[in-house]
């Protein structure tokens, strides 16, 4: 029975649907061609973005991910780009690049990402969401999704596979939903947490269609079992070789550290406008609850959205490393707004999602390691610059070193790939000033007294005083460093690079 056909014209007003009617499956091929058109348009747009971003991509791990492909191609040796690995992503990257080069490598990212936003459109529409196209734009134009649709990192494809799994769950397809989620887990292990919202959506939607509750539970258990079994198959070889060390990623640093960094990642990842919009929708819901108005059009969708947000917050709190990890939180917010708020709120969320790509309002300056609210370049620009450095940093560093005086030491992340280094005159510097080094190199054409060392080198702390204050006047080196490593070394290694040298811009 339909409860009401009236519209509430308040801030969160929307048509009240009967739950079962809102979950009816509308076959796109029979009634409309919107998903097909949307998919084709997304492929075209994402292909353009992939062309601009290039390979390896815009994630600072992309160099290591690309090197996994290179080692597989040359020696059939599988290495980890990061713990605990990403076997499905690495396998697909290797296969597509082997058959079609970098063009095919980018193509599979573009296609899966386009399928993901199309699945979001179908999911919102079939669950009774009021504005599915706004939902698609909010995700597709978000900088952390858009700038990863053509690189070798997983943020866009893993999130897309998660959405496809949710869509299949909403249609009652337990086996397909579990298998698709397993593919997402194979790209990022922590996505195993999304077994919770996927299985809940599957059980509740089947029950809403009139299936016996026992059958619904059986379907949910099937999806969980399939996803778990396939995930074990995917990660089994890695665990059998490396053991439980695969799970040793970021050591726990205490509640104070994780809470502060977690909140910081949320603010700069989602953006202050999105945080304010979420707060505004929450206040609107409280006011409507006091007036006895309808709070949502589909409680199942809202429950799933909240579960997605909580699951993502859980692992972001534990490993608050990248703002890109907030993409599933954004997906949950998109779903919640679609079923709890009006078109104006959905449009505002779209603008907020895009705004963080244009400008970031941040409480911490990472380049200068200073606290204080300020404006930074948006994530479109920052991720493009990261992608540019991943492609051309070797040339940039060489050009910079050529302008520096002899006996210079540059502390900078080495972002070039194995293939890029093969075409350069690099040579390893295993020892400097009596200190053994593992991540130091020099260009033969510029002289071995101009050295680049990665800030991750474990003996950097010992090296710096030996080449500056402790060295004889004729043996001292001039130290330069890139800003991105300043704050990290201060917090983690209690090493202040500003005491030993000065900032150098790698542009």
Where would I find the beta strands (DSSP E) of 399-486? 408-411, 426-428, 431-432, 435-436, 440-443, 450-453, 478-481
Q: What is the b/e burial string over 106-124, where b = at least 16 CB atoms within 10 angstroms of the residue's CB? A: bbbbbbbbbbbbbbbbbbb
Where would I find the beta strands (DSSP E) of 301-413? 359-365, 370-377, 408-411
Q: How far apart are CA 94 and CA 83, in angstroms?
A: 18
pTM listed for this prediction: 0.89
Per-residue pLDDT tens over the stretch 324-345:
999 999 999 999 999 999 899 9
| The pLDDT value given to residue 345 | 95
Per-residue pLDDT tens over the stretch 472-505:
888 889 999 887 777 778 777 778 888 888 888 8
Taking phi first (over 0 means left), then psi (-120 to 50 degrees means alpha), and beta for anything else, what does residue 370 get?
Answer: beta
| The pLDDT value given to residue 309 | 97
Per-residue pLDDT tens over the stretch 344-354:
999 999 999 99
Query: Residues 6 or more apart from 336 whose CB is under 8 A from it?
Result: 281, 302, 305, 306, 309
3-state DSSP call for residue 211?
coil
> With 50 as the cut, is the pLDDT of residue 30 above it?
no
32 compared with 456, residue with greater pLDDT: 456
CA torsion 181-182-188-189 (nearest 10°) is 120
Using the 8-state DSSP alphabet, how is residue 150 labeled? S
| The pLDDT value given to residue 45 | 97
Q: How far apart are CA 62 and CA 426, in angstroms?
A: 21
DSSP string, 230-282: HHHHHHHHHHHHHGGGGG--S----HHHHHHHHHHHHHHHH-HHHHHHHHHHH
Containing H/E element for 501? strand 501-503
CA-based nearest residue to 240, from 248, 232, 229: 232
């Amino acid at each position: 029975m339909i409860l009401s056909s009236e519209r509430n014209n308040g801030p969160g007003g929307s048509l009240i649907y009967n739950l079962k009617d809102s979950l009816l499956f509308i076959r796109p091929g029979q009634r409309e061609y919107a998903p097909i058109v949307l998919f084709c348009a997304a492929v075209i747009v994402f292909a353009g973005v992939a062309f601009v971003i290039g390979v390896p991509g815009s994630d600072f791990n992309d160099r290591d991910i690309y090197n996994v492909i290179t080692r597989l191609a040359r020696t059939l040796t599988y290495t980890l780009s990061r713990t605990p690995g990403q076997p499905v992503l690495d396998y697909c990257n290797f296969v597509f690049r082997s058959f079609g080069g970098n063009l095919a490598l980018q193509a599979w990212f573009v296609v899966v990402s386009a399928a993901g936003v199309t699945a979001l459109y179908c999911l919102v529409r079939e669950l009774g969401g009021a504005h599915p196209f706004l939902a698609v734009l909010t995700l597709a134009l978000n900088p952390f999704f858009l700038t990863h649709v053509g690189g070798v990192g997983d943020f866009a494809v893993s999130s897309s596979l998660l959405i496809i799994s949710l869509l299949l769950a909403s249609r009652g397809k337990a086996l397909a939903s579990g298998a698709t989620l397993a593919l997402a887990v194979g790209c990022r292990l922590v996505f195993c947490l999304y077994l919770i919202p996927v299985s809940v959506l599957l059980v509740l939607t089947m029950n809403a269609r009139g299936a016996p509750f026992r059958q619904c539970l059986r379907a949910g258990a099937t999806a969980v079992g399939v996803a778990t079994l396939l995930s074990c198959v995917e990660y089994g070889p890695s665990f059998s070789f490396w053991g439980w060390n695969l799970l040793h990623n970021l050591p726990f640093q205490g509640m104070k550290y994780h809470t502060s960094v977690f909140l910081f990642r949320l603010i700069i990842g989602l953006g202050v406008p999105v945080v304010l919009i979420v707060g505004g929708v929450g206040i609107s819901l409280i006011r409507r609850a006091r007036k006895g108005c309808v709070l949502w059009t589909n409680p199942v969708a809202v429950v799933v959205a909240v579960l997605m947000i909580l699951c993502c917050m859980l692992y972001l709190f534990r490993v608050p490393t990248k703002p890109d990890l907030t993409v599933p939180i954004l997906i949950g917010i998109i779903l919640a707004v679609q079923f709890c708020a009006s078109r104006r709120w959905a449009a505002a969320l779209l603008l907020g999602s895009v705004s963080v790509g244009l400008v970031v309002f941040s409480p911490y300056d990472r380049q200068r390691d200073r606290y204080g609210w300020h404006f930074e370049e948006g994530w479109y620009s920052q991720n493009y610059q990261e992608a540019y450095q991943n492609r051309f940093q070797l040339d940039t560093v060489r050009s910079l070193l050529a302008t520096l005086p002899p006996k210079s030491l540059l502390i900078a992340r080495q972002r070039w790939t194995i293939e890029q280094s093969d075409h350069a005159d690099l040579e390893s510097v295993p020892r400097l000033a009596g200190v053994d080094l593992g991540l130091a190199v020099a260009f033969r054409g510029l002289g071995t007294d101009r050295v680049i060392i990665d800030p991750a080198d474990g003996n950097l702390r010992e090296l710096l005083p030996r080449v500056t204050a402790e060295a004889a006047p004729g043996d001292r080196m001039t130290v330069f460093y890139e800003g991105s490593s300043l704050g990290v070394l201060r917090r983690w290694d209690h090493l202040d690079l500003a005491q030993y040298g000065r900032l150098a811009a790698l542009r």
